Structure 1
Amino acid sequence: MNTIVPRSTFSQQDRDLVASLFADIGAQTADTEGVSRPAYSAIETATIDYLVAFARKHGLEVEFDAACNALFSLPEDLAAEKFVLVGSHADSVPNGGNFDGLAGILAGLMCLVRAKNEGRRFARPVKVIALRGEESAWYGPCYIGSKALFGLLGTTELSARHKGDNRPLADHMAEIGIDMAPVKAGEKLFDPSCLLAYVELHIEQGPLLVNKDLPVANVSGIRGNFRHKAITCIGEAGHSGAVPRAYRRDPVLAAADLFTRLDDDWDTILQKGDDLVLTSGVVGTDPQKHAIARIPDSISFSLDVRSQDASTLDAMRDLLRAHMRIVERNRKVRFELDDELGVAPALCDGDVVAGISAAMRRLGFEDYVMPSGAGHDAAVFANNGVPTGMIFIRNRNGSHNPREAMEIDDFMAASSVLYEYLTHSEAA
């Protein structure tokens, strides 16, 4: 039986320092509720500038890649030809929580600062990255910053419109200084062979660690997804009191019929023991036309389908289209799909997972391994051949909302696991 008492190896001074960093950035990016750090915005840039100033104050080196992501390192690792990359994203959803993404960057920075202060070297060179543009809330596509590095942003994604000003993603990227010619040509913006591993520390965005009373977990893999920003169901407008049911072409009830069919599929798939989650987070009729006494002529809705299994995603895509054909025939409506966005499921690397597990055991933490239901930049690195791992931190009240409630003590515990992995792991 393991009798080691779980512990953080960071000092109280480190704890106080990182608490002040979270507080400062939270105050600087506060919105009417929570924080808003829009992808490829002046606010996101100011957040990265704050991190750069902190890093330089503590003797770290700073560089920027071709996608305007910031990279931090110990001075002796600046010119390393191969290195472990640690980090997460600097942006947030609108009115989100302060810890989503930011925790992974600050954990990496605290590991660098600690190594600098203690005069230690990592087992392998380490660089910390502050990625831009992970959240899909602003444009629709997700993992924009990491996809750009691998040359994976296509015309559809670059043309995606910002939810606020309706300008295309490509314009916003160019505005912060990114040379868009290689991005549009699908060129890699760095040499992936330089990465020995990618490790991302992130708050858990669900309830498992809270329910299990565990501060930290090791991640085995990340769900993939396909999604539609706007599917439109087109029917026929009419008076709410004058058109009998048999003569209606009601797009709202047609959409509800489709959702019910998809929900039944979801239940069946779960009963078979397979993995699936399904969400329609944006639903609405035209606000310029809708009225309480009017049958609407159309309704639009988003659809986000996620699974750890690619075959399940393929099956749900086929079911979606089959159900649409049935509902169209039964209710005399028409569905129009916008361009599909998506990313494949990703498995974490066995050696990296084993190294993180060993670090957890050495520090006395339960070696708990779990999948990630939410998506992360780590999925892009993993699906492009980079050995990848993730560390989860317990977090109450979910995520993508102002009520995120990560405890600093849990953050220090997870950062200790990360530091232990970086200073002892030789896994390639």
Structure 2
Amino acid sequence: MKPISPEAIRTAIAAQRPVVESLFDRLAEGSRAEPGIMRDTYGAGENFAHELIAKHGANEGLQIHRDAAANTYLTWPGSEQGAPCILLGSHLDSVPHGGNFDGAAGVVAGLTVIAALKALGLRPRCDITVMGVRAEESVWFEVSYIGSRSALGTLPNGALEAKRIDTGRDLASHIAACGGDVEALRQGRRELDPATIRAFLEVHIEQAPSLVEAGLPLAICSGIPGNFRYPNARIDGRHDHVGTPRRFRRDAAMAGAELAMALDRLWAEQDAAGIPLAITFGRFHTDPAMHGLTTVPGAFDFSLDVRAYDPAVLSLLEARMLAIISEIEARRHVSFALGPRASASVGMVDPAIAAQLQAAAQSLGLPGTMMGSPASHDAAAFAAAGVPVGMIFVRNENGSHNPHEEMEIDDFLDACALLTSWVADQAA
């Protein structure tokens, strides 16, 4: 088959606009949370999204399959049996009161690419599969990449016992309730063998308005940060009367504030040196059962997420953090209990795929700027398993994890055109 022209790709993608708009509208209507949407991990909202996508795929003649973790696969079979497949997709869950596009855009993009290529008469050599991934948003179980790592057989030990923050039930029971096979997961069976995957590509809205600032509709990802996390850290001091002199105090709140400011200075130092990273205290509070206007806080709880693009930088940051904590403990006579540690590997984007996407963007008349992801994505789990990965970011006015995400459909269709061009070149 002769190459498909950029003009034909743009026309085929533009024809998909009504379907794209309908899918996003139906996803939003079925998971409204006021404000925003609620596609809770292994809950009613996420289930709704998977059912909607599966029904749409079946109507389009795609083969539908679910794995032990209840991930959804929608496959357009290729002509060469056994050829490594192209995997497109993203997650379908959201944070509480999130936006409609974070994650879901990647699944809708995959379906849009397949529809456009079908309309263009392509007969792919390899399977092209859209994966609706479960449980990417770690806020619910405080475990990263549950769906993708389950599929790849790399789910961390103990993850199935993690409790959902609102129900208190463990991950295993939630997966079972959604039709998954917990025993298969316990045995480490994997749905996806990295050797059988040509590449995993993910379209995602940008998390911070960098593209808005730059006036660009999209960017090609240059890397996905790894992280280390302490979801349930605590500082223990002593509850005292508000009039207690400073020399007697074991103030847990001041110890927490000192750690936060020390890490912020460390971040500023690295930022000035041109080393990108992010440090976030997601929870930061005294004990509500004990705190009050006239009480020196004897307990302080916090969560910490530190992310960077270089494993050596992450190791350095954690070592410096632990040294800072030791100094604070000695000076303020408190003790830190960091609790369970979680981590995710740095996601290395495949340089060949990034270069191919840049070339495709140029042929389509689209900007091919590169941008590092400020956030974690399922693509990082695939990269850690040895699968070549690529990502495309779409301009988004108000950031993600926000009920007011503002992705423009025109920008999304540009990203779909870029992904279609790459898939056509690789699968023809």
Secondary structure, aligned partner of 2:372: strand
* Identity within the alignment, %: 38
Query: Quick one: distance in 2 between partners of 1:368 and 1:11?
Result: 21
Query: Quick one: distance in 1 between partners of 2:188 and 2:315?
Result: 25
Segment of structure 1 superposing worse, 269-278 or 334-343: 269-278
Q: Where does residue 64 of structure 1 map in the other structure?
A: 66
Segment of structure 1 superposing worse, 148-157 or 209-218: 148-157
Q: How does 1:43-82 map to 2 (within 5 A)?
A: 43-76=45-78, 81-82=83-84
Matched, 1:167 2:178: no
Q: Where does residue 140 of structure 1 map in the other structure?
A: 142
The Cα shift of 1:178 comes to: 2.0
Secondary structure, aligned partner of 1:347: coil
Query: Quick one: distance in 2 between partners of 1:119 and 1:66?
Result: 34
The Cα shift of 1:217 comes to: 1.1
Q: Where does residue 277 of structure 2 map in the other structure?
A: 276
Q: How does 1:211-290 map to 2 (within 5 A)?
A: 211-240=213-242, 242-290=243-291
Q: Where does residue 341 of structure 1 map in the other structure?
A: 342
Q: Given the two structures, how large is their TM-score scaled by the length of structure 1?
A: 0.94
Matched, 1:207 2:202: no
Q: Where does residue 35 of structure 2 map in the other structure?
A: 33
User: Cα RMSD (Å) of the superposition?
Assistant: 2.0
Of 196, 199, 203, which residue of structure 2 is paired with 1:197? Answer: 199
Query: Quick one: distance in 1 between partners of 2:418 and 2:273?
Result: 36
Query: Quick one: distance in 1 between partners of 2:312 and 2:84?
Result: 35
Secondary structure, aligned partner of 1:167: coil
The Cα shift of 1:78 comes to: 10
Give 1:50's aligned amino acid: L
Give 1:271's aligned amino acid: A
The Cα shift of 1:117 comes to: 3.4
Provide Cα deviations, 1:354-409, integer angstroms capped at 9, x if missing partner: 22112111101122112111110000111111111111111111110111100001
Matched, 1:91 2:93: yes
Give 1:125's aligned amino acid: D
Secondary structure, aligned partner of 1:183: helix
Q: Given the two structures, how large is their TM-score scaled by the length of structure 2?
A: 0.94
Query: Quick one: distance in 2 between partners of 1:125 and 1:184?
Result: 28
Retained in 1: the 8 A contact 2:202–2:392?
yes
Query: Quick one: distance in 2 between partners of 1:78 and 1:288?
Result: 64
Q: Where does residue 3 of structure 2 map in the other structure?
A: none
Q: Where does residue 411 of structure 2 map in the other structure?
A: 410
Query: Quick one: distance in 1 between partners of 2:364 and 2:157?
Result: 47
Segment of structure 1 superposing worse, 184-193 or 71-80: 71-80
Segment of structure 1 superposing worse, 183-192 or 27-36: 183-192
The Cα shift of 1:255 comes to: 0.5
Retained in 2: the 8 A contact 1:275–1:309?
no
Query: Quick one: distance in 2 between partners of 1:259 and 1:373?
Result: 20
Give 1:279's aligned amino acid: T
Give the total of aligned pairs.
Answer: 423
Q: Which runs of 5+ in 2 are unaligned?
A: 1-5
The Cα shift of 1:10 comes to: 3.7
Give 2:157's aligned amino acid: T
Retained in 1: the 8 A contact 2:79–2:123?
no
Q: Where does residue 312 of structure 1 map in the other structure?
A: 313
Matched, 1:371 2:372: yes
Deviating 4+ runs (over 6 angstroms): none
Secondary structure, aligned partner of 2:418: helix
Provide Cα deviations, 1:7-51, integer angstroms capped at 9, x if missing partner: 943455411221111011101101021011111112211111111
Retained in 1: the 8 A contact 2:31–2:37?
yes
Q: Where does residue 181 of structure 1 map in the other structure?
A: 183
Q: Where does residue 422 of structure 1 map in the other structure?
A: 423
Give 1:99's aligned amino acid: F
Of 10, 15, 18, which residue of structure 1 is paired with 2:17? Answer: 15
Query: Quick one: distance in 2 between partners of 1:394 and 1:77?
Result: 35
Query: Quick one: distance in 1 between partners of 2:67 and 2:19?
Result: 27
Query: Quick one: distance in 2 between partners of 1:189 and 1:17?
Result: 30
Query: Quick one: distance in 2 between partners of 1:184 and 1:77?
Result: 35
Provide Cα deviations, 1:235-277, integer angstroms capped at 9, x if missing partner: 111222x311211111000100111111111111122222221
The Cα shift of 1:203 comes to: 0.6
